[in-house]
Amino acid sequence: MSNEQLNLELKQLIIDTLDLEDIGPADIDSSEPLFVDGLGLDSIDALELGVALQKTYGIKLSADSEDTQKHFASIQALASLVSAKCPGEA
């Protein structure tokens, strides 16, 4: 899977998991922040997204980890995490 395909897959995962109506994958900038500015997600969204990443890719993240905050910074950061943890996905 190419990096672009993975970014698209992650965007769709966010949209589906968080029931973001009126937003399509093309509306999410891969380098834009996912929380506060940018997409405007919150801590509840982060928990739901963490569960979705675990179900989809088998990736477990610690809610208190500073690394987790870095991974959730943007679509590109999430794609890097998935690529590192699941080489077959990248």
Number of domains making up the chain: 1
Domain, as residue range, for 14: 3-89
**CATH number, residue 42:** 1.10.1200.10
The confidence score (pLDDT) of residue 90 equals 56
Cα separation, 16 vs 1, in Å, equals 20
Cα-based torsion angle of the residue sequence 42, 62, 70, 59 in order, rounded to the nearest 10 degrees: -100
Q: Return the minimum-mean-pLDDT range out of 12-26, 51-65, 72-86.
A: 51-65
Q: How confident is the model at residue 60 (pLDDT cuts 50, 70, 90)?
A: confident
Which carries the bigger pLDDT value, residue 60 or residue 17? Answer: 17
The confidence score (pLDDT) of residue 65 equals 77
